[in-house]
């Protein structure tokens, strides 16, 4: 079995079976899955205001828009992030301001936050990178002190980016201090997140005084078309086919693995529109937002039933890495965190990738550039200048993400450990 970190790492046979059913039947308006999912989330988030969207970036845009941010006001975000996090800032015509990361946690270096705050700062987005829990409490202390001196309409809000994690109960969230100290927070259910419905998101409002109820605005947001909703099911079915053929060579006698059936299938299905990249250089352009569909809700409810097993498996694989990897490659997470991916720093990235490919393992590259996946020559489009965040840039050039997903067996993890210990240089 191959391990592809970025395709459909959470999906097993039962998920594919459900996706096949949803991609074929005409049930779009007949299902109660949206209502069931909303009730499920209401129990987790204890009846706080919540809104379900097609994508994480849609949630963030909705929250930023709700704050009535004026043109050229500033939103602080860490470098070492995805362009999908930065784009909604541009969509509301605000200015992204970047803070460097702590090289030990990959989260925002809070010691550098104060110097980034100006009279124009309206929002700070705090990201839990790889599921490693950031210290939102310290951010709250800084913001509360500054807000005492500001007029109400100029106060800073905190939005928590929880896209790399998910927990099942309010107790778990409170124990890990997730969604406690922010004004609002949001999760992503994209294909490579903790649970997935190909695309999807929920945002939760803690501070209704700032964000208001927003029910009317939400009611006016359009639903996905039937075909766009079905894309989320078809994506799973399609990638399941690709995964089976990904490492199979077109011609067995060719030594190079550049020409495989799976790679040709990717090109073919992208051309047809059956699969697409979740984020690229076009993500910076506003393309509308939509509510979560019934199809996505059905897929997600099925995944939620398995979340405990998915997270437990991540911890098992993480422990194999922690016990087996040489000390210099081990990652020390914040207490209580359940990692989505296991980051390591190596100098010889390509050699490690090639060695792992021979074992049919594809590792991740979050975040090889400060605003991934934009190349350095594209970063000025998102107000980032090379050299601005040296830690983010340095880590990006040497980072590999090891898989923790359910399709990563213990044997896979031990093979990964062996290859890293044998070949990796730091």
SS3 99: strand
Percentage of the chain modeled with pLDDT above 70? 97
Kindly state the DSSP code that residue 291 receives in the 8-state scheme. Answer: B
Residue 419 pLDDT more than 90? yes
Residue 290 pLDDT more than 60? yes
pLDDT at position 352, please? 97
Confidence of residue 231 (pLDDT cuts 50, 70, 90): very high
Residues paired with 77 in a beta bridge: 98
> CB-based contacts of 421: which residues, under 8 Å, 6+ apart?
324, 325, 326, 329
pLDDT at position 46, please? 87
Domain boundary residue, one of 169, 202, 219: 219
Residue 225 pLDDT more than 90? yes
pLDDT digits (tens, 9 = 90+) for 34-49: 999 999 999 999 878 9
8 Å CB contact between 388 and 116: no
pLDDT digits (tens, 9 = 90+) for 369-405: 999 999 999 999 999 999 999 999 999 999 999 999 9
Angle at 373 between CA 94 and CA 205, to 5 degrees: 45
Q: Report the DSSP pairing between strands 81-82 and 371-372.
A: parallel
Q: What is the average pLDDT score of the chain?
A: 94
In angstroms, rounded to a whole number, what is the distance separating the alpha carbons of residues 85 and 218?
Answer: 20
Report the pLDDT averaged over residues 257-266: 86
Return the number of other C-beta atoms located less than 10 Å from residue 288's C-beta: 10
Residue 366 belongs to some domain of the structure? yes
In angstroms, rounded to a whole number, what is the distance separating the alpha carbons of residues 65 and 212?
Answer: 12
Q: Taking the alpha carbons of 85, 174, 401, 98 in that order, is the dihedral positive or negative?
A: positive
Domain total for the chain? Answer: 2
The four Cα atoms 111, 115, 118, 124 give a dihedral, to 10 degrees, of -20
Domain boundary residue, one of 198, 219, 240: 219
Residues 311 and 214 reside in one and the same domain: no
Residue 30 belongs to some domain of the structure? yes
Residue 159 belongs to some domain of the structure? yes
Which residue range(s) make up the domain with 417? 306-423
Q: Please give the distance of CA 369 from its chain centroid, rounded to a whole number.
A: 15
The interaxial angle of helices 226-245 and 261-272, nearest 10 deg, is 170
pLDDT digits (tens, 9 = 90+) for 291-340: 999 999 999 999 999 999 999 999 999 999 999 999 999 999 999 999 99
pLDDT at position 30, please? 61
Report the pLDDT averaged over residues 340-363: 95
Question: pTM to 2 decimals?
Answer: 0.96
Residues 77 and 180 reside in one and the same domain: yes
Alpha-carbon separation of residue 35 from 28, 32, 42, 250, 419 (angstroms): 13, 5, 10, 46, 47
Residue 197 pLDDT more than 90? yes
Residue 72 pLDDT more than 80? yes
Residues 48 and 190 reside in one and the same domain: yes
SS3 196: coil
Confidence of residue 289 (pLDDT cuts 50, 70, 90): very high
pLDDT at position 156, please? 98
Residue 212 belongs to some domain of the structure? yes
What are the strands, taking DSSP E only, across 189-253? 201-205
Return the number of other C-beta atoms located less than 10 Å from residue 267's C-beta: 9
8 Å CB contact between 60 and 88: yes
pLDDT at position 29, please? 54
Residues 183 and 42 reside in one and the same domain: yes
In angstroms, rounded to a whole number, what is the distance separating the alpha carbons of residues 86 and 75?
Answer: 9
Q: Which of 276, 203, 272 is nearest to 235 (CA)?
A: 276
Higher pLDDT, 90 or 247: 90
pLDDT digits (tens, 9 = 90+) for 175-190: 889 999 999 999 999 9
Higher pLDDT, 415 or 2: 415
Instruction: Read off the CATH number of the domain in which 312 is found.
Output: 3.90.1150.10
Residue 145 belongs to some domain of the structure? yes
Domain boundary residue, one of 219, 237, 252: 219
Instruction: Read off the CATH number of the domain in which 173 is found.
Output: 3.40.640.10
Residues 56 and 162 reside in one and the same domain: yes
pLDDT at position 37, please? 97
What are the strands, taking DSSP E only, across 71-115? 74-78, 81-82, 95-99
Residue 289 belongs to some domain of the structure? no
8 Å CB contact between 234 and 23: yes
Residue 232 belongs to some domain of the structure? no
In angstroms, rounded to a whole number, what is the distance separating the alpha carbons of residues 381 and 374?
Answer: 9
In angstroms, rounded to a whole number, what is the distance separating the alpha carbons of residues 70 and 80?
Answer: 26
| CA count, 13 A, side-chain hemisphere, 299 | 38
Residue 248 belongs to some domain of the structure? no
């Amino acid at each position: 079995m191959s391990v592809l970190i970025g395709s459909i790492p959470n999906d097993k046979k039962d998920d594919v079976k459900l996706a096949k059913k949803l991609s074929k039947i005409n049930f779009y308006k007949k299902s109660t899955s949206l209502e069931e999912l909303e009730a499920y989330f209401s129990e987790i988030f204890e009846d706080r205001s919540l809104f379900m969207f097609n994508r994480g970036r849609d949630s963030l845009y909705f929250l930023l828009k709700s704050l009535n941010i004026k043109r050229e006001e500033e939103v602080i975000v860490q470098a070492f992030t995805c362009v999908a996090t930065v784009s909604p800032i541009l969509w509301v015509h605000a200015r992204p301001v970047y803070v460097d990361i702590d090289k030990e946690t990959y989260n925002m270096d809070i010691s550098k936050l104060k110097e980034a705050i100006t009279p124009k700062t309206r929002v700070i987005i705090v990201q839990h990178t790889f599921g490693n829990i950031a210290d939102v409490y310290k951010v709250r202390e800084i913001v509360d002190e500054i807000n005492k001196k500001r007029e109400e309409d100029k106060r800073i809000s905190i939005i928590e980016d929880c896209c790399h994690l998910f927990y099942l109960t309010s107790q778990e969230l409170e124990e890990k201090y997730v969604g406690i100290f922010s004004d609002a927070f949001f999760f992503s259910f994209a294909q490579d997140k903790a649970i997935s419905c190909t695309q999807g998101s929920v945002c939760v409002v803690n501070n209704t005084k700032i964000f208001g109820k927003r029910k009317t605005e939400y009611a006016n947001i359009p639903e996905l078309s039937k075909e766009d909703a079905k894309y989320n099911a078809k994506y799973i079915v399609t990638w399941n086919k690709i995964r089976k053929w990904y490492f199979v060579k077109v011609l067995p006698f060719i030594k190079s693995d550049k020409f495989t059936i799976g790679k040709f299938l990717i090109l073919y299905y992208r051309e047809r529109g059956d699969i697409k990249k979740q984020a690229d250089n076009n993500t910076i352009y506003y393309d509308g937002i939509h509510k979560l569909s019934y199809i996505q809700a059905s897929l997600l409810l099925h995944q939620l039933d398995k979340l405990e097993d998915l997270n437990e498996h991540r911890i098992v694989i993480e422990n194999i890495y922690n016990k087996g990897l040489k000390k210099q490659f081990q990652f020390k997470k914040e207490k209580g965190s359940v990692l989505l991916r296991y980051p390591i720093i190596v100098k010889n990235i390509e050699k490690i990738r090639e060695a792992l490919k021979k074992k049919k393992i594809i590792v991740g590259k979050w975040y090889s550039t400060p605003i991934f996946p934009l190349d350095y020559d594209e970063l000025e489009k998102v107000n980032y200048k090379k050299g601005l965040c040296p830690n983010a840039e340095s880590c990006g050039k040497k980072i590999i993400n090891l898989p923790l997903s359910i399709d990563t067996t213990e044997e896979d993890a031990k093979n990964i450990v062996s290859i890293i210990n044998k070949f990796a240089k730091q």
